[in-house]
Structure 1
Amino acid sequence: MTEGSPSRRHPLVRLAARIPVTLVLVGVVLACGVVSRGLWHPLSASPLWDQVAYGLPAIAEGRWWTPVTGTFFSDPPWLYVVVISGFAGVAYLEYHRGSRVALGWFTAGQLVGVLCMLGFVALISQLSWPWAVAMAHSLDVGPSGGTMACIAASATAMSSPWRERVWFTVLGACAVLLLFWGTPADIVHAFAVLLVLAVQRPLPARRSTMRERRLLGFLAALAIATAQVLVFLSPTRGPFGSSAAGSAPLVNLVVDVLVIVLIARGLRRGRRWAWLVAVVLAAVNIAWAAVVAVGLQIPSLPEDLFGGDPTPTLGEAGLWAIFLGYLVWARAAFRAARRGTIGSSPAPTAADAAALLKAHGGGTLSWMTTWKHMSYLRTESGIVAYQRHAGVAIALSDPLGPPEGRAQSVTEFIAASERDGLVPCLFSAGEQTRRAVPSTWRSLVVADDTIVDLPGLNFRGNTWKPVRTSLNRAAREGMTFRLTRLVDEPWGVQAQVRVISQSWVGGKELPEMGFTLGTLEEARDPEVRLALAVSPQGDVDGFLSWLPIYGADGRVDGWTLDLMRRREHGFVPVMEYLIGSSALQFAAEGARIMSLSGAPLTHQYPPDAGVIAALSERLAETLEPVYGFRSLHRFKEKFHPRSETLYLLFREGSDLPRIGAGLVRAFLPDASLRQFADAGLELVRRDGG
């Protein structure tokens, strides 16, 4: 490999090689700033201003070159920071689309924006409109028309939904600047963006998702609130007149912003009530602006009749009108009502889920979908089991039903969740389900399912010595293994099992986890088998619970480990003994697999996993003293299982904070804030010791 090969260059050198046009343009702007001294002195106070600035006066006096020369200057000096920052959009476009495209859009956006601004100002200057007259006598400089066009064009290089979100931000910024400040540069920005909009037509049509329509409604509401705050804090000189900072009553601003934020949260979740309130509020603001506009034409009315400076009200009416139009256009996205389940009623039951499992089979975790606190969505081809927490619909494992209908079930679950304003995700899903979600979805490994193949299992050889030793020791000490059902055992055995479990739970700072980790209540299911280790004295030294894994033929194809509990000071290798004895009996019965289930946060990531691996490692270190996930995973390795990856499937990274909150509530529905705090103190105490 040669010294100058691209892969040996410094990253900054490789970046510079990808954006030469951007670097040249920035260099020219800075050079002009140095030559004109505009970097430290206002250019408008220099004789050079009249020679390079563009505007109607310059064209009227024959300075036809100013639309080009004005591109490479800025005024006042502090604005150079904003101007140079704007070239980031040019750099992004050039990096992803090439130098020719970036230069083309910069040139077209700048020249078309400036020329259209001149024509527009010349047209409106014929009216007796103070703002139009002021624009007709104004000069300006700056390359922001070209940089704004590149920012807009660069959105098309982004994947959906970021493409639509960037476009919304660009259009919103242009609207606010034009309505409240209305400088020549703001007019140039508007025409430059309209040029890109007309050529590329990037805005979403009816094919945009319900979620995106709700998100845009949410962002639009927050944009109006932000605009009101900015207008209150700074003076304006827009098309509707001028206003001083703080000219409107503060109490009105606070109330308006609080109401808008409340509505925005409802719009984000697609609530019908939020849409109705937003429509009414927009209509009221537009109507009030119309009243103010008429009142200002009546000289006999007192100036303070409208409660402060009325100028911002007229500009805000323009934003409310755009917002109202959007709400009417996207009204179908805001029909979610508050209710406990998604989908049509009546909802399926746990019995329906169990019947579907027995008819078509399921995965190693599928029986958990029949547990309490689960809700169900009936799809065209099956059932999706889920829990609803913190605004998130968390589907557990894979959809139930025939494998060929899995993709349809996933699609219907996503649509039903989004229709009710919930964030959809699938937890502990397998590889087939990962392939069934939309291609834009992301996945995160949450566990490795540990599976022991039972045919031919005999525990012979050195690799099985620890398991074989526990079985031999149990035989010498008179331990008895019994595979039974908890509901079939006498009261005395059930009482011992209950005491062992309560003792285990009592040693934790947090209560028993749920969702994918069962309790004795789930173990009482007649379909669940209980493995008991009984001492010669009749004491239960430990127990396991096994969940059925149904095959496609309706027969039990294997068993999944759920509860693992042992009596303190009992038979030491009781867990190895119980699992080994269970495996031998399951194999004798003709079962195909035995799943030791997945220990969360124990996945072995590749070296290039990056932030995902780092996050998992940190969480594992934090929770290990409380729940021992890693030590449990190491224990299961004694049985030499093969691994099948389990995933968390979600739309995008911005959903993860809400999904995380939902999973915490799913796993620890009964934990209090005090218990979380106590567990945290215990972690600190152990770490410091």
Structure 2
Amino acid sequence: MGYLMSLLVHKQRKFLSAQTEAQIERWAVRFMAISTAAMGVINLLSAVMPALADRLILLSKILPMEVRYGSRLASALAGFALLVLAFGLGRRKRAAWMLTGIALVVSILTHLLKGLDVEEAAVAGGLLLLLILLRNSFHAHSDPPSWRQGLWVLAGSFLFTLAYGTIGFYLLDRHFHVDFSLPAALRQTIMMFAAFDNSGLEPLTGYGRYFAFSIYGIALATFLYALRMLLRPVLVREPATAAERQRAAAIVQNYGRTALARAALFEDKSYFFTSGGSVVAYAARGRGAMALGDPIGPKEDAAAAIVAFRDFCRRNDWTPAFLEILPDSLDAYHQAGFQTFCIGHEAIVALESYTLQGSENKNVRNAVNKMIRSGYRFQVHLPPVPDHLLHALRWISDAWLTAQHGSEMRFSLGWFDEDYLRNGPVAVVYGPDDQPVAFANLVSEYQKNEITIDLMRRYPKAASGVMELLFASMLQWAKEQGYATFSLGLSGLAGVGERPTDPQTEKVLKAIGESLNRFYHFKGLHEFKEKFHPRWEPRYLAYLGVADLPQVMITLVRVHSGDDFWWRYLAGR
């Protein structure tokens, strides 16, 4: 017993030590980012402040005036760059680390050249030393195509500005004191664009002043655009390859055990594979990456897979999150530095005890019996589902979406795709005229003896009670097929933020959900599922910190509803 206790204490100390080191590193990175921004402000202020007279006299004996003036402008531009790069450092961007080092070197030189400002140069030198010492903390990648595009923009802008300035000075020399030849116009443009020196240029007219400043404007605009490209997070431009999908399908087949397992194989997913044999299905949008459920794979690899995906996202400059994770995996997320909160409850019906008998089922039983007496019937079509039926179901789906003023959702839900529906069981309710009026597709959970539903659609003018007939009949069919449980899916925000003891995050989420209810109909779906007396199991969202929540929420909306959701929301559709 003593040995076990000592071992536990050792592991706990090791875990705390790792957490402490990570916390120190985070604060060091934040300090570096804040200090870099402060250095940018120092550069900008120093560029407009006059130099000390005695130092300026000494410097004027060594350097020409053009170099001193050019150094002031270069110092200001380096300061502006440091302000922008500070945000990249806060995101641990490797590109920002490299560019900050260059900007600090420029700052050191320009502070010395413009007025022997040794103090400012020393501060920049200290920051440069700290930046070098922290080099291993800046490991987030930038998007390679964007990086190349940024470099091409810099090169192209330089050539364009040379042509713009040369032709402009040559044709507009009447607006200046100088009669420009082509070589002189080229030389003047190079000095202004590359050396930040106007070489005593004196415009005669307002248009001449405008043209001279427009060269700096072009330089600044192209510099900012190139910097944005260089600091851009990695973008997922293409879906997973066929080989990756086959590999993911094999893992899901062997280890899938939740209602999300089939959704992990939808075409909107990318895949992260671990050395331990797990796969994380995710979608990346901008700076966010949303993983669907827990990692799928061997149970002993779950904790390592969470950490590996977290580090993978950091390298790509993504903010990671895991959606709809199970309660039994919360400890692994907490140990990996994630925070969690409940986002809703999944409705699970125990089929062994399922029945329509009894007073508590009276309303559903009456609705089902009424539909049957009116000539409605239920049927499950096993794969392959015939094309003529799929065409009829698409008509129902389109009518339903039109009535809901919505569009197909994705990520954790399927969308109407004939190949997807053709290859699985589809439950259909037929009307008295023997035409389909409602349907749902049924999805297995692989290694768990449970079945679930994905798409649920009905014709908007179908008689009241058609969905009760559909669900009651699906549950009975699944019970006869030998399934142990039936998942009715997640009731988003159900039971979230309602108790006084619930976290503040859940209360805020509940308030947001109230405004989104017209799109997702959370309350109505929950009340309908409650008719079948399921047990409610909580599902959680894992995120790294409160500061990440805005980005996580934006990513969550984008992966589910698309990038045009905000326009539809503002339009009230």
1:321 maps onto 2:125 in alignment: yes
Indicate conservation of the 8 Å contact 2:415/2:455, yes or no: yes
1:225 maps onto 2:117 in alignment: no
Q: Which residue does the alignment assign to 1:353?
A: 248
Q: Which residue does the alignment assign to 1:564?
A: 456
User: Structure 1 residues 584, 222: closer, same or farther in 2, change over 3 A?
Assistant: same
Q: Distance in 2 between matches of 1:218 and 1:625?
A: 42
1:452 maps onto 2:267 in alignment: no
* CA deviation map 1:418-441 (0-9, x unaligned): 122221211111112222113443
1:263 maps onto 2:90 in alignment: no
Indicate conservation of the 8 Å contact 1:217/1:267, yes or no: yes
RMSD of equivalent CA atoms: 3.3
Q: Distance in 2 between matches of 1:327 and 1:522?
A: 55
Q: CA deviation at 1:506?
A: 2.1
Indicate conservation of the 8 Å contact 1:497/1:540, yes or no: yes
| Structure 1 unaligned regions, length at least 5 | 1-201, 242-246, 293-305, 683-689
1:408 maps onto 2:301 in alignment: no
User: Structure 1 residues 391, 622: closer, same or farther in 2, change over 3 A?
Assistant: same
Q: Distance in 2 between matches of 1:670 and 1:548?
A: 30
Q: Which residue does the alignment assign to 1:433?
A: 329
SS of corresponding position for 1:524: helix
Indicate conservation of the 8 Å contact 1:509/1:675, yes or no: no
Q: Distance in 2 between matches of 1:654 and 1:522?
A: 41
Moved more, 619-628 or 249-258: 249-258
Q: CA deviation at 1:322?
A: 2.4
Q: Distance in 2 between matches of 1:509 and 1:319?
A: 59
Indicate conservation of the 8 Å contact 1:624/1:630, yes or no: yes
1:332 maps onto 2:106 in alignment: no
1:155-554 correspondence to structure 2 within 5 Å: 214-228=29-43, 255-289=77-111, 291-292=112-113, 306=114, 310=115, 313-335=117-139, 336-338=141-143, 339-340=234-235, 349-381=244-276, 382-439=278-335, 440-485=337-382, 487-491=384-388, 493-521=389-417, 524-525=420-421, 528-551=424-447
SS of corresponding position for 1:602: coil
Q: CA deviation at 1:568?
A: 2.1
SS of corresponding position for 2:353: coil
Q: CA deviation at 1:233?
A: 9.1
Q: Which residue does the alignment assign to 2:212?
A: none
Structure exhibiting the larger radius of gyration computed from Cα positions = 1
User: Structure 1 residues 406, 571: closer, same or farther in 2, change over 3 A?
Assistant: same
Letter in 1 for 2:481: E
Q: Distance in 2 between matches of 1:369 and 1:607?
A: 35
Q: CA deviation at 1:228?
A: 4.1
Indicate conservation of the 8 Å contact 1:620/1:630, yes or no: no
Task: Provide TM-score, normalisation by structure 1.
Answer: 0.59
Number of equivalent positions: 447
Indicate conservation of the 8 Å contact 2:82/2:103, yes or no: no
* CA deviation map 1:579-638 (0-9, x unaligned): 111111111111111111112222243222253343123212211122211111111100
| Structure 2 unaligned regions, length at least 5 | 1-16, 57-68, 144-233
Q: Distance in 1 between matches of 2:83 and 2:421?
A: 47
Letter in 1 for 2:252: L
Q: Which has the higher contact order (CA 8 A, sep 6+)?
A: 2
Indicate conservation of the 8 Å contact 2:345/2:538, yes or no: yes
Q: Distance in 2 between matches of 1:613 and 1:269?
A: 27
Indicate conservation of the 8 Å contact 1:348/1:377, yes or no: no
User: Structure 1 residues 526, 221: closer, same or farther in 2, change over 3 A?
Assistant: farther
* CA deviation map 1:75-114 (0-9, x unaligned): xxxxxxxxxxxxxxxxxxxxxxxxxxxxxxxxxxxxxxxx
* CA deviation map 1:548-570 (0-9, x unaligned): 21226xxxx21222211111222
Q: Which residue does the alignment assign to 1:100?
A: none
Letter in 2 for 1:611: Q
Letter in 2 for 1:318: A
1:575 maps onto 2:467 in alignment: yes
Q: Identity across aligned pairs (percent)?
A: 24
Q: Distance in 2 between matches of 1:452 and 1:266?
A: 49
Q: Distance in 2 between matches of 1:203 and 1:359?
A: 34
Indicate conservation of the 8 Å contact 2:303/2:333, yes or no: yes
Letter in 2 for 1:391: R
Q: Distance in 1 between matches of 2:127 and 2:245?
A: 44
Q: Distance in 1 between matches of 2:262 and 2:280?
A: 13
1:50-61 correspondence to structure 2 within 5 Å: none
Indicate conservation of the 8 Å contact 1:364/1:549, yes or no: yes
Indicate conservation of the 8 Å contact 1:347/1:378, yes or no: no
